[in-house]
Structure 1
Amino acid sequence: MDEVHRAGMPGVFGEVRDSGWTWRGASGVADLRTGRPVTPGMRQRVGSVTKTFTAAAVMQQVERGRIRLDGPIGDYLPELVPGERGRKITVRMLLNHTSGLPDYLLYAFPSLQGFPSLPDMSADSLDDNRFREFRPEELIGMGLAAPAAGEPGDPTGVYSNTNYLLLGQLLERVTGRTAEEYITREVIRRAGLRHTAFPTGPRIEGPHPRMYEAFFGLLDPPRDYSVYSTSWTGTGAALVSTMEDLNRFYARLLDGTIVSRASLAQMQRTIPVRALDGTMVQYGLGLHRVDVPGCGTFWGHDGTVWGAGTLSLTRADGRRQMSFAVNLTRWNTLDASGRPRPHPLDGALAELHRQAMCGAGAAPVPAASVGPARGSLP
């Protein structure tokens, strides 16, 4: 962790568990201006790690017979996904990103149009939207109005936050309460999490780091976005949590506490999915699979929002876990073709992940296989 800090990360903190013992640590600062140190128990915006919570909530409703996993979304939300699209896209396709619905992100933040083409990029709309309150229906409408990312049911998925906002609306429709309320009661509390919640405003309650966004070098020095409305992410990426809570959550999910073993088996059926930065991941229903030679298969998710990056992975046998947070994102500058240039942080984080997952002496872990991709958007 000290090497990650020396490589340019303001602060990094995390927790590793292995067969009954727990290690927590932190390195660097939570605030560049004051030098306030980062500590292991700080709260963090965990970005798309939220998707596993939302998927687990949907699977609970599948178990209760209120949602059909292979039922058309148009049967539940005909006003949001009408016509042929609503008949072709199933709940499963939303969960594993094979719906063909594009991400709304480039339309909610229009100056991001053209990503990752450097000449078209600007960070202006990050500030413009700092306190904007988006409605889920508004964002979903942006996604549905954009050119399709593929055909429903394609064998290779395309990652899209639009899918998980629709799943939030589905939960609201079948449970009679907001998705955030349902997930809090039936997932967060069932897992025994004490420091995990959906924010109710732009500020984070409790100890947390400043969150610095570099946006591929366009923000120099990086800008603090720790105060930011997460209405643009909702049930796709809005949760705040701690690294201890994330390890507890994934342990309880994989041991059958949150969903049944049959539901978990469905969640672990993976397909190749193209992430927003173009990399390929093995994705199930709200779960990402990482295979590490000589170390095992891990399950979990990564996530970024402006200025905050998080990774949480648990080995398939549940005995080894790691969750880490960083408070600087999109640190790589881009070359003329829009591709991220190498940065010392890439290798330092890969080594941290290797030791956290596998211990000393294990084979190297490819940087792109386990963490928030260097050039990724949320």
Structure 2
Amino acid sequence: MQNPLDPRELDAALDSVHRAGVPGLFAEVRDGDQVWRGAAGVADLATGRPVTPGLCHRVGSTTKTFTAAAVLRQVERGEIALDAPIGHYLPKLVPGERGDAITVRMLLNHTSGLAEYLPYAYPSLRAYPDLARTGPESLDAHRLTRFDPLDLIELGVTAPAVCAPGGSPGVYSNTNYLLLAQLLEHTTGTTAERYITREVIERAGLDDTEFPVGPHIEGPYSRLYESWFGMIDPPRDYSDFDMSWVGPSASLISTVADLNRFYGKLLAGRIVGPGSLAEMRRTVPIVSQEGKVIEYGLGLHPTEVPGATWWGHGGTVWGGGTLAMTRADGGRQLAVAVNLQRWNRLDTSGRPQPHAIDGALATLFRVAMRG
């Protein structure tokens, strides 16, 4: 039996996350014609301004679903072939045997073997992912740094491979999606941001979703507080940040309502066709950024709950986090945004310790998804 939305239960679950330590969060849950929107806490610690459900938010790697959908639009036009080697399109960026071995599909599902460029871009993060030996210095040093995506791609391509092309499990890497952005530019004659906006964002009718044109968030937003595993205490505001360090891999700004609208239309076959959607939902095992093996498709990943499969994506930026998931039948949806990141402190071996926020968020997701 389906469980209808219970506003009081959802309000209580949301408030528990705030009381566990997140300054502010907001969410939207949809079940058919029923819609619940809620918010708890503050959007600005300095002024006490409260969060509201309609705020804009940096959605991090949730952007990858938008980029993947844009690539599939080009596949449908015959401009890109999923199983063609990336070297066919971008021989200078991925030259030689690797360019011949790595396919477009492998970039989309993170089985290319290309390393994450981030550890090589910031010398102060050279110990990543051994987080016990990192620090927040690079965040402050690079707030307004404008990175060239070709430089970042080169760092990832020339770094030691994390697996063989097509290897299992694959390894999550932003290098893959920066290359996909270059592929879109190569095959469309315009920037990836413009193409994604025209073919995905506008096609989905999203009025409050856009790529940033500078370090600031336009429109009403919550400030973003980064704790960096307790090394920034109290957490510092990083809402102003030049997102060229991730570009169309993770820089999108949206709202929880727009995210639910997007995933609802995507899974209904209204952004890409049924064949493309089936390809997006073909999963392989990959190692996530958290070091866990998960199933991952083409810019989508599934979450299993009792009696149902949900599809969507999560994302983080400095100070902010987002999760957007839609049940496979489209009948129920969840999108939530939080304005604190990396709240877990590290043990002596560098592993994040459990925090009350983790349990409170798990309860919120369970309450929202148990339809």
Q: TM-score, normalised by structure 1?
A: 0.94
For residue 62 of structure 2, the aligned residue among 49, 56, 62 is 49
Instruction: For residues 149-207 of structure 1, give each alpha carbon's deviation from its aligned partner in whole angstroms, at most 9, with x where no partner exists.
Output: 11001121100000000000000000000000000001000000000000000000000
2:362 matches 1:350: yes
Query: What is the identity, as a one-letter code, of the residue corresponding to 1:269?
Result: R
Query: How far apart, CA to CA, are the structure 2 residues paired with 1:352 and 1:312?
Result: 13
Mapped contact 1:47–1:310 kept (Cα < 8 A)? yes
Q: CA deviation at 1:109?
A: 2.3
The one of 306, 311, 320 equivalent to 1:308 is 320
Whether the 8 Å CA contact 1:96–1:284 is kept in 2: the answer is yes
- Taking only aligned residues, the RMSD between alpha carbons, in angstroms, comes to 0.8
Instruction: Choose from 300, 303, 311 the match for 1:287.
Output: 300
1:145 deviates by 1.6
Pairing 1:320-359 to 2, within 5 Å after superposition: 320-358=332-370
State the distance in 1 between where 2:118 and 2:337 align. 23
Residue 210 (structure 2) aligns with: 197
1:85 pairs with 2:86: no
* Residues 357, 119 of structure 1: alpha-carbon distance in 2 compared, 3 angstrom cutoff: closer
In 2, the alpha carbon distance for the partners of 1:124 and 1:357 equals: 38
Show the 5 A alignment for 1:16-165.
16-165=29-178
Q: Percent identity?
A: 65
Give 1:344 deviation, angstroms.
0.5
In 2, Cα distance between equivalents of 1:13 and 1:109: 32
Aligned residue for 1:254? 267
Distance 1:195 1:3 in 2: 28
| Structure 2 CA distance for aligned equivalents of residues 286 and 119 of structure 1 | 30
Match of 1:299 in 2: 311
Contact 2:169 2:293 in 1 (8 A): no
Q: How do 1:202-213 and structure 2 match up within 5 A?
A: 202-213=215-226
Q: Deviations over 1:51-92 (max 9, x none)?
A: 000000000101111001000000000111111110000000
Measured in 1, the distance between the counterparts of 2:24 and 2:161 equals: 39
Equivalent in the alignment of 2:227: 214
Tell me if structure 2 keeps the 8 A contact 1:42–1:209: yes
Q: Does the aligned pair in 2 maintain the 1:25–1:39 contact within 8 Å? A: yes
Task: Work out whether residues 26 and 40 of structure 1, in 8 Å CA contact, stay in contact via their aligned partners in 2.
Answer: yes
Residues in 2 aligned to 1:10 and 1:280: alpha-carbon distance in whole angstroms: 30
User: Which whole-Å CA distance do the structure 2 matches of 1:219 and 1:145 have between them?
Assistant: 32
Whole-Å Cα distance in 1 between the matches of residues 145 and 64 of structure 2? 22
For the structure 1 residues 56 and 119, does the alpha-carbon distance in structure 2 shift closer, same or farther, using more than 3 Å as the test? closer
| Residues 111 and 120 in structure 1, CA contact (< 8 A), matched pair in contact too | no
The one-letter code of the counterpart of 1:56 is: A
Q: Distance in 2 between matches of 1:36 and 1:110?
A: 36
- Relative to the length of structure 2, the TM-score reads 0.95
Which residue matches 1:363?
A: none
Name the CA shift for 1:118/1:162 in 2 (closer, same or farther; >3 Å).
closer
Counterparts of 2:120 and 2:306 in 1: how far apart (Å)?
39
In 2, Cα distance between the equivalents of 1:123 and 1:275? Answer: 22
1:348 maps to amino acid:
A
Q: Give the Cα–Cα distance (whole angstroms) in 2 for the partners of residues 196 and 332 of structure 1.
A: 30
State the SS of the aligned residue for 1:216: coil
Letter in 2 for 1:213: E
Question: Per the alignment, in what secondary structure is the counterpart of residue 285 of structure 2?
Answer: strand
Between the aligned partners of 2:18 and 2:280, the Cα distance in structure 1 is 35
Counterpart contact for 2:132–2:349, Cα < 8 Å: no
One-letter code aligned to 1:325: A
Specify whether residues 119 and 332 from structure 1 end up closer, same or farther in structure 2 by C-alpha distance, changes over 3 A only.
Answer: closer
**In 2, Cα distance between the equivalents of 1:215 and 1:150?**
28
Offset at 1:119? 4.6
- The CA distance in 2 between the partners of 1:195 and 1:228, in whole Å, is 19
Equivalenced residues, count: 358
In structure 1, what residue type is equivalent to 2:45?
Answer: L
Residue 279 of structure 2 is aligned to residue 272 of structure 1 = no
The verdict on how the C-alpha distance between 1:116 and 1:104 changes in structure 2, with shifts beyond 3 A counting, is closer
